[in-house]
Each structure stands twice: as C-alpha cells, then as structure tokens.
Amino acid sequence: MGITGIEILASIGKNLRKPDKRKKGDTTPDLSKEDDTSKEAKGADIGDALRSAYEQAVSEDIPEEMLDLLGKLS
C-alpha cells in the first residue's frame, strides 16, 4: 500500500511555518512559536513559585514594631 494524499498533506503541513511578524533586528524571543506543553510547564513553574512565596510570607512572624503600631490604633 502506498502513501495516501492525506499523509502527504499532513507531512507538508508539519513543515510549514507562520511568517515571522517581528521587525528586522528585533532580538526578543518569538513566544508564538512555543508549543502548548512548554507554555503549560512555564505556567506551572510560575504557579509553584507564587505558592511557595505566599506560604513563606504567611508563615513569617509579625514583627514586634508592627504589633506595637497595631496596638496603638485600637
């Protein structure tokens, strides 16, 4: 059995690239070329970092100076 037309079109489609819309000389990374898996992984990493920072901030003790100031307000 030979290669079907659909298989040929699928292989051609994989090799096509969208034109680069950035200006000539622009060295910023073209994030539009990232795949969804890469974006999801970065999102998960950022989420983990934010959760870690939040947990650390919540677990810290309130400084005595701040408690004194709060006591003066009430």
Q: Does 62 map to a domain?
A: yes
Q: Does 6 map to a domain?
A: no
Q: Quote the domain boundaries for residue 49.
A: 35-74
Q: Does 1 map to a domain?
A: no
55-70 confidence digits (pLDDT tens)? 999 999 999 999 999 9
Q: Does 2 map to a domain?
A: no
For the chain, the domain total comes to 1
CA 12 to chain centre: 30
Q: Does 39 map to a domain?
A: yes
On the question of pLDDT at 37 being above 90, the answer is no
Q: Does 25 map to a domain?
A: no
Instruction: Give which of 20, 40, 23, 24 is closest to 32, Cα–Cα.
Output: 20
10-35 confidence digits (pLDDT tens)? 666 655 555 556 667 777 766 666 56
Q: Does 10 map to a domain?
A: no
Q: Does 11 map to a domain?
A: no
